[in-house]
Structure formats: C-alpha cells, structure tokens
Structure 1
C-alpha cells in the first residue's frame, strides 16, 4: 500500500468459520426477512401506485419502497459477510446490534411522516454509524474517529430537527406530507431558512465539500461497516432532498446552488483519487465524487436520477469495500503507468460518448429538450467515458483491443443506467416533485465546461504539471491527524 516491497515471510492463516454468535444469526436472518418484505412492498407499490399510510406517523410510497429494497439488500450482504469477517471479535454482538439498528433507522427515515419521528430516526442513523466507526475501542484512533464523526452527525441532526420544527411551525402541521402540500405558501424568508437547513443537513450526511473530512477520517471502521457507510449512509443526503423537493424545486437560485455544490464535490473527489495512495481513502475520494454527482442531479431537477445513482453507487462501492482486502498487495508498483492518449483512442472515445449520450436520450427522453436534461445527458456520457478508459487502463489491453472495447464499455453501462432510471422514475411517479427539470442557464454551461476541462486535464496529463495543485489537493484530502493509523504496529498492537 505504501509502494515499497517487504521481505516478510508469507504466513498461512487458519481458516475461519462463521461465528456462532446468537445475535449475528438472529440479525442476519431478520435483515434478509426485511429484504423480502421490502421487495414485496415494492411490487405492491408498483402495481397499485398508491401509498400506504398510518395517519400522522408513516407513509410508505414509491420512494420508501425503493430505499427499503436497496438498504436491506446491502445490509443483508454486510451481515452475511460479517459473520465470517468479525469471527472472534470480542464485541461481535455489539457490532451486529449496531448494524441492524442502523438498518432500521434508515428504513424509518424513508417511511417517517411525523417530523419528530423523521428527526429522531435521522439522528439515530448518525449515532449508530459513529459507533460503528469507533467500534475498535482499543484503538486511540478509532475512538477519535468515532468522536469526530459523532460531532458531525449531531450537527446534521440538530440542523435538520431545527429545520423541521421551523417548517412545522410555519405550516401548522407536524407531518412531512402536510408540510410538502403547503410548501408553496411559505414566506420567502422562511423558505430560504428551510432550504439552507435542508441543504446543510444533506451536505454533512453525504460528506460533500467542505464536510468531506469526516468520511476521510472514518477509516478505522471495520471494513463491513465502511461498506455499509459508503453504500448506504452517505446516500441519505439524496434521499432527504428527494423527499423535501417541493420546498425548493421551484426556486431556481437554490437549484443552481445545488448544482454548483454538487459539481465542486464531484471534481474534488475525483482529484483526491489522483493523489491518495491508500486504498480505503481512494475509495473515500470516489464516494465524495459520486455523492457530489448525486446532489448535482438533484440540482438539475432529476431526483429519480439521483435515486438511481445512489442505488448503482451502493452496489459498486459495497463490492469494492468488501473485496478491498484482495486489492491490497505489498509490492512495488509496475513501471510505466498509464499510457498517453493517442489520437485514435481519443476520437473513438468521444464518438462512443456521443453515441452513449444519444442512447440515454432515446431511452429516457432526458436531454431531448434544451433544459437541464441536456447537461444530465452530457455528464452521464462523460462519466461513462472516463470510467471506461480507467477500466481499460487497468486491464492493460493492446491498443487495438482497447479501441474495440471502449465503445462497448461506454454505451452498455449507459443503456443499463437508462433502463434502471426509467424503472425508478416509474416507482416514484406518485412522489411529489421527483421530476422538475430547470431551464438551461449559464451555471449549467459553466459546470459542463469544468467537467470537460477536468476530463481532458486527467486524460492528457495536464494535472501533473502543477506541484502547487498537487499540494493543495493532498492537503484537502488529509484526515484528522488523531484518527490516522500511520504504522503497521498500530494495527498489530490492537
């Protein structure tokens, strides 16, 4: 991981078996039962198209069903994986209880209609995750990371609770559905206070710049907890914005602000990938980038696209974290590095991006008109192109094979994304303001130019010419010093 080889003799570790902990067995069975229930809820919701209500307390609509299916599936995978991973841990029962409690908290957030229930579940979600981050209490660094993230999540919960209390007072109702139905009657001053509170709570929870340091300081968490954090917890910001979209979706300045905030975090997270050598913090930088893109999609008015994105990101990031041990090799990096961009590959890549964008427009209808959908289609195509080129660079294919594979790796994922987007959008049909595209503006053009410039800078190697830029990004990506494990002895002593 440091880039230096070691002469340590290989040691064959004994094979472990799933733990016999009763708590782990019970919670694993329970979470898979919740997944089955969530799938049934989604099927019934898709067929009936109406929400189920416990008046004044709970609403189970399309957004609830989609979030329930995603979070219970990821949690089920983490529970099953952890039965072997956590075998022999002295605090294994506490770990499984917290993981299951976190799952329940997210499910309540997705379904809560009473503002007090929503705020309490949001806070519980943060506190259980902070406890998981500080799970290894014998590590000074883990205790520090747990305390740091707890402060962030308490701040997020406090801001959200205050915002919901303000909205309840202004609208005269204590239910989320009631607030949303009366959002257009709010005075402008209160609307902006509510928008600021919702945006701030979402930014903290989703680790957007400048609140990204809690995520980069959370690497003391057991790997399964990190997988659940990156696949589920950080997505809460997008869920919050999708649920409360009627409060701000008609305010063009607020939507433009979301686009700028999301774009800045997306570009910063991608830059972190260029400077961090350690596997888990590179994955952290990737999450910052993906959450920025998710929030950007909310700013464009495509909340269904944001929910689709968080589902796909959850699958991708859960896989990467749970398989991260196999990617860590204490060997020197291969000589050479990434090959330079040739003219044929650049032409083929751009043509594939254009074709992929056309496929996205054809499948979803987004981008067919000159509104924020055009920027969404452009960013989807550019992101797919960048991911495809990165994957091919790691595969070390011949130039000819790269030219053949590149269009496939660009167009096929975009087609899959488009199909899933349509499915999620159909599920969210009855959810207020899940489709509210905005007019194309100078902000959108500037963001498109920034993404294109960043892509070209990375592909052509321009970013390597500035030592100052490298230093700035490296400093921004530093975790809190008290949370960092700096030597192997820190791990071995624990």
Structure 2
C-alpha cells in the first residue's frame, strides 16, 4: 500500500560500520587450513609426529581431519561474509563458527579422556547455538533446545564410557586405554562400547535419533552446510578412534552394521517422499551417515573416513547452492526416456562393472569376508544411480546410453583413489582396515538392501498409501520447530 513503511526483520539490522570479526576469523581459519596442509604433508613424508604424551597426538587421522574441517569452515566463513551481511548477531555467528572449528581440531588430536570428552561436549553446544542463531524466532530457540538435549545425552554417554575404561585400565589417555583393551572385563567393555556407539549415532543423527537433524532447519544456511558437511561426521571419527576396542567384539560390530544399514535405508526412503529442499538434504545426510556407519561395522574404518570426506564436499555444495534449486528447475522437462531394453542392459552392465572396479581398486570383496556386503551395496547403488541418470537426463538418448557408464565408473574410480590415499595417510592409526567374517547379520542386511532396491524401483512407497504416510510422518521435524508463517522467512 502507498505510504506503508518497510519493517525491519527482527534479526537483521543495517550496520553503519563493518565489523572486523568476519574478516579476521576468515583470515584465521584459512591460515589454519594452510597449517593443516603442512601437517598433512609432514604426515605423508613420514616426518616428526607432534605429540604431548597423554594429552594430544597428531597422527594420520588428525592430519586428514584438520585439512578437511578447516577447508569446509573456510568455505562457510567466506560464503557467510555476504550471506550474513547485516545480521544483528554477526559477530556472535562468526565467533561460534570459528570456535566450532577449533574445538573439532582439538577433538581429532585429543589423547586425554577429559580433553576428548570436553571437546565432544563443546562441539555439540556450539552447534546447538548455531541452530538457534536467530534468537527472535521461538522455533529457532525450540530447535536449539531440542538439539542441545540430544548433544548433552551424547556427551554423557561418551563420558560414562570413557570413565569406565579409564577406571578399569588405570590409563587416562586414549592410546593407553586402547593398548590395554585385553585387560578390560567383558561387562565393562560392553557398557563402554554401548556408550560410545550411542554417542556416535546420536551425533550422526542415525535412527532413532534423527529428529534433532530434521528439526534443525532454522539454522542459517551456512551453519546447516557446516553441520551436514562436518558435525555429523563426528560419529565416524569416534568409531574410528575406538576401532581396536570395537573390533574385539563381534556382537558390537554386527550391531553397528544393523544400525548403519537401517539408517541408510530409512534415510533414502524418507528422501523419496520429501517435499522440502532442506529436509530432503537432511534425509540424505541421514542415509549417507548410515552408510558411513555401516562401513565402520564391516571393519572398513578408513573407507568410512574417505566416505565422510566426499560426502562433506557434496553436501556443503548442495546446501550453499540450495537457494538456486528452484530457479534452475524446468517443470515438466525431463527429456525423452531411452528405450527400456537398452536402458536395463546398460544399467546392469554398469552396476556389475562398477562392483568389479570397486573390488579391484580398493581390495574390498576380494575375499570371503564382510567386504562382499560392501561390494553388493556398491552394485545396488550404482544400479540405482545409473537408472536415475538415464531417466532424468535431458541429453540425447544415444549419449545417455554411452556416457552414463563412463560417468558412473569414473565416480567409482575417484572414490577408490581417495580411499587408497586416505588409507595410506592413516597407516599409523590402528585397525583402520579390519574386515570381519561373514555372518547371518551380513546376509540379512544384504537381503534387506536388495529388497529395498526392488521396492524403490517398483515405487511401492507411492502405491501404498499406508507406507507413504508412515515415511512422511517419520520425516517430520518437531512441530515446535516449524515456521508456519511465510512472513517469518523474510530475509532469513
């Protein structure tokens, strides 16, 4: 209406002078990235390994994660310089993002149980604060409160497990505890493993603890990118650190396989019924973290680290570019689908070739062990990806049939190169590759994946109203965290 004055969004404010905090913290985090590259280069060259006995140690896992975390954080810092411009709490936002980066760096290097537990707690509290960054939104405060409760529970479980191990072994360092796992009574080991695994799956938002992630969409997009590309990966780092303890117990490894497989399948199913871009990305993250955890349960911890790195790059890009998703969509323009028979043949051949290439390049599945299940999952994933590309691509039919296998196989080859590189850097980290014997659990999980692929291909989730509604309900965030008025989104 004429004469109506524009209103200021509560969490936005015009600034008369630019704050030095964004620039300083951006410069600082890129400096940390440069330091991480130096540390990684030193690790690759086999140079001196910095350490303070019983306090911290910089090994292969630390070097890799320092580079990855600081790189993602640097991208978020740089992106936020424009995205968050004019935000009333800009300095606080940058302080929390930079603080989160430092805490994760401490976590990956910590060797003392108290330092490790404190860093785990600090990481969770900082992320909860970022989720509730827009303090004027009651929904953001509710989302932050929900996430904080989950993270406090995760920290309590981890601290309890570490205290049990420290008390039993008489050691206060992680390296010392892991060297003495043989002296830990079975009941103590079971309790400690339970606490550690639960802490990992809560932080990685696996089923049935995915609600905090699905309810976190009030966070600014840069914070969401950092969350999905970095924070949820903490579960994989935790399981990798305690691999020598976990691999001692077949039941624990089987339980991790079941948790990972269930979360991967449910996350993918929830993605199929998603109607919101950021929630779809949340379901996708749940599925990917489930696959990462599955790899840990199969004994391929280095592979899980490689997976979380590649997923981090992909998910950071998706979140930071999510605002352009609608603009780049052309309704009703999916191109002509290629003929059914050639399409099926290309899909099957590409999937089998992808599985064979994966096995040869990574060494997984070359023996009668848990690697066979991983190869099966790769074959099914390749088959699904190939079918999806063939159906959705707008390229000419002949180019789709010829080019799709090349693209998919190149992606598998890239993963293999990253996996082999990460494995080489992490050679000093114990038990990074420890495949387990095939069990009934592995066979059951394999059958479950085959059944899930068939259900997806036949679109059972669309044919069954009951299944569709069940998945839709499972994918819903906490009602108190949902913004219901479009005005709430102004300049968000």
Q: TM-score range by the shorter chain?
A: over 0.9
Cα deviations across residues 50-70 of structure 1 (Å, max 9, x unaligned)? 642111210100000111111
Deviation at 1:424, TM superposition (A): 0.4
Task: Tell me if structure 2 keeps the 8 A contact 1:126–1:150.
Answer: yes
Matches of 1:108 and 1:62, distance apart in 2? 14
Task: Tell me if structure 1 keeps the 8 A contact 2:343–2:390.
Answer: no
The match for 1:279 is 277
The match for 1:126 is 124
Cα deviations across residues 283-310 of structure 1 (Å, max 9, x unaligned)? 0000000000000000000000000000
Task: Tell me if structure 1 keeps the 8 A contact 2:147–2:212.
Answer: yes
Counterparts of residues 42-61 of structure 1 (less than 5 Å) = 42-48=40-46, 51-61=49-59
In structure 2, relative to structure 1, the CA distance for the partners of 1:219 and 1:164 (3 Å cut) is same
Which range is displaced more, 311-320 or 248-257? 248-257
Deviation at 1:337, TM superposition (A): 10
1:440 to 438, 460, 467: 438
The match for 1:427 is 425
User: Which structure 1 segments of 5+ residues have no match?
Assistant: 1-15
Please give the secondary structure, in 2, of the residue aligned with 1:312. helix
In structure 2, relative to structure 1, the CA distance for the partners of 1:490 and 1:424 (3 Å cut) is same
Matches of 2:180 and 2:340, distance apart in 1? 56
In structure 2, relative to structure 1, the CA distance for the partners of 1:255 and 1:337 (3 Å cut) is farther
Task: Tell me if structure 2 keeps the 8 A contact 1:258–1:299.
Answer: yes
Task: Tell me if structure 2 keeps the 8 A contact 1:123–1:157.
Answer: yes
Which range is displaced more, 303-312 or 249-258? 249-258
Counterparts of residues 246-257 of structure 1 (less than 5 Å) = 246-257=244-255
Matches of 1:484 and 1:92, distance apart in 2? 23
The match for 2:18 is 20
Matches of 2:438 and 2:445, distance apart in 1? 11
2:64 to 55, 63, 66: 66
Deviation at 1:361, TM superposition (A): 1.6
Length, aligned pairs only: 478
Task: Tell me if structure 1 keeps the 8 A contact 2:337–2:397.
Answer: no
Matches of 1:316 and 1:235, distance apart in 2? 13
Counterparts of residues 2-401 of structure 1 (less than 5 Å) = 20-48=18-46, 51-329=49-327, 333-334=331-332, 342-401=340-399
Matches of 2:49 and 2:377, distance apart in 1? 33
Task: Tell me if structure 1 keeps the 8 A contact 2:60–2:427.
Answer: yes
The match for 1:4 is none
The match for 1:8 is none
Cα deviations across residues 96-155 of structure 1 (Å, max 9, x unaligned)? 000000001111110000100000000000000000000001111111101110111111
Matches of 1:429 and 1:338, distance apart in 2? 49
Matches of 1:341 and 1:461, distance apart in 2? 20
Matches of 2:191 and 2:39, distance apart in 1? 35
Matches of 1:188 and 1:475, distance apart in 2? 40
In structure 2, relative to structure 1, the CA distance for the partners of 1:378 and 1:186 (3 Å cut) is same
Task: Tell me if structure 1 keeps the 8 A contact 2:334–2:393.
Answer: no
Matches of 1:126 and 1:80, distance apart in 2? 23
Deviation at 1:465, TM superposition (A): 1.5
Please give the secondary structure, in 2, of the residue aligned with 1:468. helix
Deviation at 1:188, TM superposition (A): 0.4
User: Which structure 2 segments of 5+ residues have no match?
Assistant: 1-13
Matches of 2:166 and 2:24, distance apart in 1? 39
Which range is displaced more, 458-467 or 424-433? 458-467
Matches of 1:395 and 1:218, distance apart in 2? 32
Deviation at 1:329, TM superposition (A): 4.5
In structure 2, relative to structure 1, the CA distance for the partners of 1:387 and 1:374 (3 Å cut) is same
Task: Tell me if structure 1 keeps the 8 A contact 2:335–2:394.
Answer: no
How large is the Cα RMSD of the aligned pairs? 2.1
